[in-house]
Structure 1
Amino acid sequence: MAISGEQLIGASVRRGAAGEIQAWSPIRGQVLPETFGGGDAADVERACALARGAADPWRRSLPEQRARLLETVAEGLLALGDALIERAHLESALPIARLQGERGRTVGQLRLFAQALRDGHWCAATLDSALPERAPLPRADLRSHKIGVGPVAVFGASNFPLAFSVAGGDTAAALAAGCPVIAKAHPAHPGTSELVGRVIQQAVRELGLPEGLFSLLHDAGTALGKALVAHPVIQAVGFTGSRRGGQALMAVAQARPQPIAVYAEMSAINPVFLLPAALAARAEAIAQGFAESLTQGVGQFCTNPGLLLALDGPGLQRFLAAAAPLLSAKPAGTMLTPSIRAAFEAGAARLREQTGVETLVQGAAQLCVADAARFIANPLLHEEVFGPAALLLRCRDEAELLAVAEALEGQLTATLQLDQADTQLARALLPVLERKAGRILANGFPTGVEVAPAMVHGGPWPASSSAAHTSVGTAAIERFLRPVCYQDLPPELLPPALQPHNPLGLWRLRDGKPSPPEGKT
């Protein structure tokens, strides 16, 4: 499949006229030859008009139709073979093995959503029977389920050119919910985005679905993205990126005559609590795991362990003595883009320059050490440094450790390295961490997010813009659904999920009790 540099607007391809975009290859250290035409307001209008036309038919489509689309896209991504992996490698410098795994994850989450659609729990079909004889007032027949909110704008992420981009989790969840998608390609990997976008466009065409179900637009700046979020057709936004970028889109969304939700996954430093018994038992092993996690993918993960907390003492000294040479020996890696490299270097330098901060390792990875009181008093120490940099806090006692936990902003993850003797301290920390993080780990490290129904990838601000939702796992579909109740509608007007004879064969909640489809218990 050739890369043309064109935008995909519904079933058509169109060269954008608002300037040219070229990808920088960190592998080659130069721009790649293909040029991509940037989109403008007219392209946004055209894509939104098509999405508007597709919204009602797709929202009312059967779950099997949606599942088949997702599976067809998954099959198409695999059919691209090495061409997709090689292009993503060229544009991102991510290792081939990592990208092969990311493609597997992308395909896996598309198939997982297809499975969830057939299962049917996502629509929350609920039936409350009429009670005409109830005193003092009768009850009407009430039935409710969840429907897609409407067209969704999805912004590709820089650090996951497949799993969090054009056919990534946001797109899979939105399409599964019954929402058309207009995707904005990330300018760091426009060729990869076009290859994936053409797979989706082709799948829509092959299955005879409304063409406005999917469009892909290009823009190197922010104007097109803001115009997309401001357009009245768009009803929700999926975004993975910086806090500044997420806040900018949220400001646009809230300034609309009809404000909409922006589901933004933004920044986190993902604290790791090194509890004393665990350090006493295995400080060196914990240091090894930490060094691998911090430098995995050149530290370009939103779940990177950027903050360590421990009680001062011999166990901590053993940990530092083991971690420092491990990190110092790590070779320099190629980062995704020159701007990400520059931001990392600036952030790492800012961290080193803060009063009371000691630099233990400075090189391909950075490890700094400070007292807990410095962290609590200095907001700059709470900021994410996107890359392989971490800050370790020495705490005088358990009370100070708990005080630091209370001072944390919202996080995607919090990790407890603990042994049995640490149970009491861990029990004291848990209520705080439950308020602060979306995922709490024990004796692991936060890099790596399993795509599964129980996964939560989100958290209180600023980890995400909505602590009530996840951007990974089947529960991610909830972001793009809303409930509708039908009162006393004739059976022939009810949606299939709520019809008396249950044609979709769903588990439903009837009069407050789970009700299986016929033939199931």
Structure 2
Amino acid sequence: MSAAQVWSVDPRTGKRREQVAVEATAEDVDSAVRAAHSARGSLADRAVRAAFLRTAADRLDAAKERLIETADAETALGSPRLPGELARTCYQLRAFADIVDEGAFLDVIINHPDDTATPPVPDLRRYKVPLGVVAVYSASNFPFAFSVAGGDTASALAAGCPVVVKAHPDHPATSELAAECLRRAAVEHGIPEAVVGLVHGFEAGVELVKHPLITAAGFTGSVRGGRALFDAAAARPVPIPFHGELGSLNPVVVTESAAAERAEQIGTGLAGAMTLGHGQFCVKPGLVLAPTGEAGDQLVKSLADAVATTGEGVLLDHRMRDNFVAGVAERAALPDVDAPVAPGAGDEHTVSAGFLTVPAARLAAEGEHDVLLEECFGPVTVVARYEDDAEVKAVLSRLPGNLSATVHLSSDEAEGKGDGAAILAELTPLAGRVLVNGWPTGVAVAPAQHHGGPYPATTSTSTSVGGTAIERWLRPVTYQSTPEALLPPELRDDNPLGLPRRVDGRPEH
């Protein structure tokens, strides 16, 4: 039987554009992983590695017109979204090149012998080494930044790990073009192009996580798909780390004082955040706790006015469109749920944005309204109207883990007058990023960024954005009482590589 064909599809029409590839067989996956494994040594030199990452960014920049045109044809994300996302992707690669050059990610720690300690301390030297070949699973909603050349790939290569990427079926042609850019950059620096493998197909993704030479995996996608792969990674004869980003509601709390102070501004801001990218961002605010009363009413009116002017949009594929239409219909049919602006189907290819309201008391205890506490992918949010702080706490206590949690405070509350600190304390256990008087959409690529959170937001405590994302693909190793001549250069007393390190408890630069 011949392998299934992989087609590029235009979500605006539902029609096939071109055949891009064929689905990888188990033998194809094995070949890609073994070739990547054989390329590990080519990434050993940090200078070569950093140069490769910068050249990869240059190659993507040089191909940006073709990449953006292809990605738009496959995702309908358009401009300015796609040019901005590609620029972000190139920035990530260059930022990781800087991290590789600096070397602090190696976390070098040296303890010289100390016979006076109890117990005595021998000569100990610790740093981090790459795990090996990493499996990367592309996301549907970020064809550049969380795909072939995205953060998982950039951080893994920076750590010294080759990658094999499982392309997302929503943008296979874009994936092939991006992989070509990375491979060309690798060859320019004497690195085998197999250092970046690419496979297509559902079964290929399953085979990939099971392959014995895969040492870790990074995933961005649905709870169902991510959990299946996570379980497969744990069930291997040798389990591996699985860093999955699965789903997030991203709750928002608006205090009564904040609503009274700037209801219109908050409502308008919420409309922009929940409809950005047609509601297809992983940090879209999906649940908003807003007060009852006049101020809360004004917030809802402002939200309704802004959302009502949002045009119909195309989701990433027709399956997602169908799930969105069915999901909002199920939620809207629940008792005491209203739709000031009804979300749902537009024409046969589009959807319309909207939001639902519900008394917060309906969410405070287990029941049929629990579906409102689950992520609905697309341009919709749920506004839960609360009567008092007790209802806010009751709803928050029922939420699963999230990527972000937000509180909108009044100017007095932001200065410490009121319960702002208490609300932050309630939100902190729920999310990896806590925001005050902002919106979670827009995840800056910065050293202090954390894009992760308690399950099901992610399956680990790590981040997939920012410099510390590199830590996912490293493991520490300590050399004890090892002669200087046998030590890796990173751990020698004379520090020939000029690495930042901590020696006998004191930082050295």
Normalised to the residue count of structure 2, the TM-score between the two structures is 0.95
Aligned-partner residue type, residue 49 of structure 1: R
Q: Tell me which residue corresponds to 1:491.
A: 484
Q: Distance in 2 between matches of 1:403 and 1:486?
A: 51
Residue 390 (1) aligns with residue 381 (2): yes
Give the SS at the match of 2:285: coil
Query: What secondary structure is seen at the aligned counterpart in 1 of 2:335?
Result: coil
Determine if the alignment matches structure 1 residue 294 to structure 2 residue 294.
no
AA aligned to 1:500 is D
Which whole-Å CA distance do the structure 1 matches of 2:238 and 2:329 have between them?
A: 42
Task: Choose the corresponding residue for 1:444, options 429, 438, 443.
Answer: 438
Q: Tell me if 1:116 matches 2:99.
A: yes
Q: Is 2:76 the counterpart of 1:93? A: yes
Q: 1:149 aligns with which of 131, 148, 157?
A: 131
Show the 5 A alignment for 1:61-100.
Answer: 61-100=44-83
Query: Could you tell me which residue of structure 2 aligns to residue 6 of structure 1?
Result: none
**Which is worse superposed, 16-25 or 226-235?**
16-25
TM-superposition CA deviations, 1:22-44 (whole Å, max 9, x none)? 12102344110234211100011
Distance 1:137 1:362, change over 3 A: closer
Contact 2:252/2:408, CA 8 A, preserved across alignment: yes
Distance 2:13 2:375 in 1: 29
| Equivalent of residue 41 in structure 1, options 18, 26, 50 | 26
Q: Distance in 1 between matches of 2:116 and 2:36?
A: 45
In structure 2, the residue matched to 1:240 is 220
Q: Contact conserved, 1:17 with 1:38, CA < 8 A, in 2?
A: no
**CA offset at residue 175 of structure 1?**
0.5
Q: How far 1:322 moved relative to its partner?
A: 1.6
User: Any idea what SS the aligned residue of 2:18 has?
Assistant: coil
Pair 1:172-2:154 in alignment? yes
Secondary structure in structure 1 of the residue aligned to 2:376: coil
Q: Is 1:128 the counterpart of 2:108 in the alignment?
A: no
Alignment-derived partner of residue 346 in structure 2: none
- CA gap of 1:457–1:135, structure 2 versus 1, over 3 A, is closer
User: Cα offset for 1:327?
Assistant: 1.1
- When structure 1 is superposed on structure 2, of 357-366 and 151-160 the one drifting more is 357-366
Which AA in structure 2 matches 1:101?
A: G
Distance 1:272 1:289 in 2: 12
User: Aligned-pair RMSD on alpha carbons?
Assistant: 1.5
Are 1:261 and 2:241 counterparts? yes
Tell me the residue number matched to 1:356.
336
Partner of 1:272: 252
Aligned pair 1:19/2:12, yes or no?
no
Distance (Å, rounded) in 2 between the aligned partners of 1:188 and 1:19: 16
Q: Distance in 1 between matches of 2:256 and 2:496?
A: 58
2:286 alignment partner, one of 298, 306, 323:
306
Cα contact 1:413–1:438 (8 A) shared by 2: yes
Paired residues, number: 495
The one of 434, 453, 462 equivalent to 1:459 is 453
The runs of 5 or more residues in structure 1 that have no matched partner are 1-15, 517-521
> Hey, what's the Cα distance between the residues in 2 that align with 1:315 and 1:81?
46
| AA in 1 matched with 2:233 | A
Which amino acid is 1:396 matched to? E
> Distance in 2 between the 1:144 and 1:428 partners?
40
**Distance in 2 separating the partners of 1:496 and 1:343:** 54
Distance in 2 (CA, whole Å) between partners of 1:485 and 1:425 is 47
1:415 aligned counterpart, secondary structure: strand
User: What aligned pairs does 1:197-212 form with structure 2 within 5 A after superposition?
Assistant: 197-212=179-194
Read off the aligned partner of 2:506 and give its amino acid letter.
Answer: K
Residue 17 (structure 1) shift:
5.2
SS for the counterpart of 2:19 is coil
Structure 2 residues without counterparts, runs of 5 or longer? 344-351
Q: CA deviation at 1:434?
A: 1.1
**Secondary structure at the counterpart of residue 505 of structure 1:** coil
C-alpha deviations, 1:300-347, integer Å up to 9, x for none? 000001110022221101111221122122110111111111111111
Which deviations, in whole Å up to 9, do the C-alpha atoms of 1:429-462 show, x marking residues without a partner?
1122111101111111111110000111000011
Q: Distance in 1 between matches of 2:273 and 2:282?
A: 12
Q: Does 29-38 or 446-455 show the bigger shift?
A: 29-38
Q: Pick one of 143, 161, 171 that aligns with 2:143.
A: 161
| Cα distance in 2 for residues equivalent to 1:150 and 1:139 | 31
Instruction: Call closer, same or farther: CA 1:129–1:292 in 2, change over 3 Å.
Output: same
Q: Say which SS state the counterpart of residue 22 (structure 1) adopts.
A: strand
Q: What SS does structure 1 have at the residue aligned with 2:88?
A: helix
Moved more, 169-178 or 319-328: 319-328
Which residue number corresponds to residue 434 of structure 1?
428
Contact kept, 8 Å, 2:250 with 2:405, in 1: the verdict is yes
Question: Match for 1:458: what amino acid?
Answer: G
**Structure 1 segments (4+ residues) deviating >6 Å:** none
Partner of residue 54, structure 1: 39
Quick one: which amino acid aligns to residue 168 of structure 2? H
Is the contact made by 1:58 and 1:180 (CA closer than 8 Å) also made in structure 2?
Answer: no
What amino acid is aligned across from residue 63 of structure 2 in structure 1?
L
Separation of aligned partners in 2, 1:36 and 1:346: 32
Q: Decide whether the 8 Å contact of 1:382 with 1:408 is kept in 2.
A: yes
Find the aligned partners of 1:138 and 1:457 in 2 and give their Cα distance.
41
Q: Aligned match of 1:409 in 400, 403, 417? A: 400
Residue 194 of structure 1 is matched in structure 2 by 176
2-structure distance, mates of 1:136, 1:329: 71
Letter in 1 for 2:58: E
Instruction: Give 2:348's aligned residue.
Output: none
Amino acid in the other structure paired with 1:77: L
What is the distance in 1 between the residues matched to 2:316 and 2:422? Answer: 40
Identical pairs, percent: 44
Counterpart secondary structure, 1:187: coil
Q: State how far apart, in whole Å, the 2-side matches of 1:287 and 1:311 are.
A: 13
Deviates more, 1:498-507 or 1:102-111: 498-507
Equivalent position SS for 2:307: helix
Which whole-Å deviations, capped at 9, do the CAs of 1:387-424 have from their partners, x for residues lacking one? Answer: 11111111111122122122211111111111133343
State the Cα distance separating 1:493 from its structure 2 match: 2.0
| Equivalent residues of 2:14, 2:318 under 8 A apart | no
Q: CA deviation at 1:137?
A: 5.2
CA contact (8 A) 1:348 1:366 kept: no
Where 1:192 maps in the other structure, the secondary structure is helix
